[in-house]
Structure 1
Amino acid sequence: MTLSKQPQVKLPLLHWNAVRRNNGTYWNDVNMGEMLDKLDLSQFEEQFKLKTKPTLSNVAKIIKRKVECLSLLDTNRARNAMIIQRRVALQPSDVARCVEQTDLGDLPLWAVELLHGCIPSREEADKLISNSTKLNEYGEAELFCFHLSKVNRYDRKLGLMQFIGTFDEQYARLSGQVNAVKEASHSITVSDRLKKVLEIILALGNFMNSQRKGLAVGFKIQSLSKIAETHSGDYKFTLLHYIVKTIHANMPELIGFTMEFEHLESAQKVLLKELISEIQEMKNNLDTVLDERNKQRDNFVIFSFYNRATRKVKRLGEQARQMLQSYETVCKGFGENPQRIEPQEFFKYFSEFFLQFDNIEKSLYLSEEKKKKKKAVPLTRDVSRNLIEEAMVQHSTMY
């Protein structure tokens, strides 16, 4: 078997598992030669031809070109600079202009984050500037870093741009955490139904311990995990099962009390020390923005951002103050030191207790439904026949 046409250029190999005989196979009726005549093989060759290896003269030219470029950067930094410039897809002078003017319109946030890895050292910046008379000899990376080196307070402005670009997202996240802790603390403090449930636990606990221990006026929140671990004498159910049944039988107004605490799940993810630290860092960054605004009074981006961000940070500070008050109130109410227990730990005790309560409530409901179905026994054949006969007798007597 031969081809009517042969390639005129070197093409790549197609690594397939070839079928050598077509007798009795799908390929028996395939007309490959006819198909080759229909295909535009010249276009195919143009698109798939392999590039020829550079000749010795071409290699010499490339080496000569590299030697002619003035290399002033560390190898890794030069490689990073070239990668960043190609990804940013802006001229070096335009990148420098965007940083100088803190312009996040032409230079997006992801590019700003990349440029953090392209900050020339002081020695490199001095070399780039002192050799600027040989600018036409600079390599791609050197030229890129040269323009960046001319930006006043380059690394500071990059940090400023990153703060401006991420401010709204950071503010929303911190504000959400502050609100979650504040609302979760308040909901536990003011919930009358939760107080009644805790009263039931306290009353039963004192009753159980009265013969061997003195009476307690309350209990630590860590004790909530013990309720589901305290079993009946025959180990068939727990104290929490008993409490759930008691509420459903005698105190229906307490049913569904766990639904009052919608912010609990978010609040138990918060580390208060980290939250306060981030808010303080945001304030410090805003001071840096103010300092830069005073140095660039005609920079509208910085001017408008500072005015807007100042109002938000001030509002966040006030919300944080209210949150700390609310959290301190709920902690002290349960005999805890708010300086020593994080919301992550404090609210977790309540969250786990409520989850256990809901699970038992659900299992009891399913158990009751099962009992109801068992009571509704279908009619047997004999009972059904007797009922039909009685109905027929009553029907005949009517006539």
Structure 2
Amino acid sequence: MYFLELMKVPRVESKLRVFSFKIQFGSQISEFRKSLNTVNSACNEVRNSLKLKEIMKKILYLGNTLNQGTARGSAIGFKLDSLLKLTDTRASTSKMTLMQYLCKVLAAKTPALVDFHLEFVSLEAATKIQLKSLAEEMQAIIKGLEKLKQELVASENDGPVSEVFRKTLKEFISVAETEVVSLTNLYSTVGRNADALALALYFGEDPALPDAHLSKLLQRS
């Protein structure tokens, strides 16, 4: 009997998708907002870390020292992800990498900076979140809400059989729209903050440091 009545409902498959979206919406929004806040917190922690800024200044000074006398010896900035290159750069006469040398100098001369990583409470969790996945999730939520609106419009011609459905869906869409607008604004903010971390440019600086200059520096240490 239930299925016979169900068959009388226009576009029953579409309505079932509406119910599925409505049921999952709360938890989906909550988890997505949590991920956005995690990435946002990590960006703020990195950008506002005074200890990291001091370390970055020393790295810039070190790079300019190594490149002294060349066109790359007066850089005023570098890409944040270029820090990873420090572990790959070593002198031809030494097993010590530039990262190891930097850590050695920091530990000896400015030990207070060595624990800078303790300021990054959200960073580890943020590294497990891909920005591409966030973009896909945001798009899925927006498209899901759009399909709900389309079904609401289509159900206006269903007659009394969809009256309760239309009323419930209309109320839900009103609430969901507010949530999605808020979420979209947060997503845009997180995107700008994440992009801002990559805006410290080399301005023509080559991250590959000359072995000859690096050899002399490591020998002096």
Fold agreement, TM-score > 0.5: yes
Query: Of the two, which has the highest radius of gyration?
Result: 1
- Tell me: CA distance 1:245–1:327, structure 2 relative to 1, closer, same or farther (3 Å): same
**Structure 1: which 4+ aligned runs deviate by more than 6 Å?**
none
TM-score when scaled to structure 2? 0.72
1: CA distance, partners of 2:118 / 2:102: 17
- 1:230–1:238 Cα contact (<8 Å) kept: yes
Letter in 2 for 1:321: S
Matched, 1:150 2:16: no
Matched, 1:288 2:155: no
Give the alignment partner of residue 278 of structure 1, picking from 128, 134, 137: 137
2: CA distance, partners of 1:150 / 1:219: 65
Tell me how far 1:327 sits from its aligned partner.
2.3
Which structure's relative contact order is higher, taking Cα pairs within 8 Å and 6+ residues apart? Answer: 2
Give the alignment partner of residue 202 of structure 1, picking from 60, 63, 68: 60
Unaligned stretches of 5+ in structure 2?
Answer: 157-161, 204-221
- 1:230–1:239 Cα contact (<8 Å) kept: yes
Tell me how far 1:213 sits from its aligned partner.
5.2
Give the alignment partner of residue 90 of structure 2, picking from 217, 231, 236: 231
- Tell me: CA distance 1:305–1:213, structure 2 relative to 1, closer, same or farther (3 Å): same
Matched, 1:185 2:43: yes
Tell me how far 1:222 sits from its aligned partner.
4.1
Give the alignment partner of residue 176 of structure 2, picking from 302, 309, 315: 309
2: CA distance, partners of 1:181 / 1:324: 9
Tell me how far 1:191 sits from its aligned partner.
1.9
Matched, 1:298 2:164: yes
1: CA distance, partners of 2:151 / 2:70: 70
Letter in 2 for 1:231: R
2: CA distance, partners of 1:163 / 1:149: 21
Question: Match of 2:189?
Answer: 322
2: CA distance, partners of 1:222 / 1:316: 28
Matched, 1:251 2:117: no
Calculate the aligned-residue CA RMSD, in Å: 2.9
Unaligned stretches of 5+ in structure 1?
Answer: 1-91, 97-145, 337-399
SS at the partner of 1:230?
A: coil
2: CA distance, partners of 1:273 / 1:227: 27
SS at the partner of 1:258?
A: helix
TM-score when scaled to structure 1? 0.43
- 1:177–1:270 Cα contact (<8 Å) kept: yes
2: CA distance, partners of 1:224 / 1:333: 12
Residue correspondences, number? 194
2: CA distance, partners of 1:308 / 1:335: 46
Q: Identity across aligned pairs (percent)?
A: 28
2: CA distance, partners of 1:334 / 1:264: 22
- 2:42–2:122 Cα contact (<8 Å) kept: yes
Question: Match of 2:119?
Answer: 260
1:84-233 to 2 correspondences below 5 Å: 93=2, 96=3, 148-211=6-69, 214-215=72-73, 216-231=75-90
Tell me how far 1:148 sits from its aligned partner.
4.4
Tell me how far 1:281 sits from its aligned partner.
3.1
- Tell me: CA distance 1:287–1:212, structure 2 relative to 1, closer, same or farther (3 Å): closer
Q: Which moved more, 1:301-310 or 1:170-179?
A: 301-310
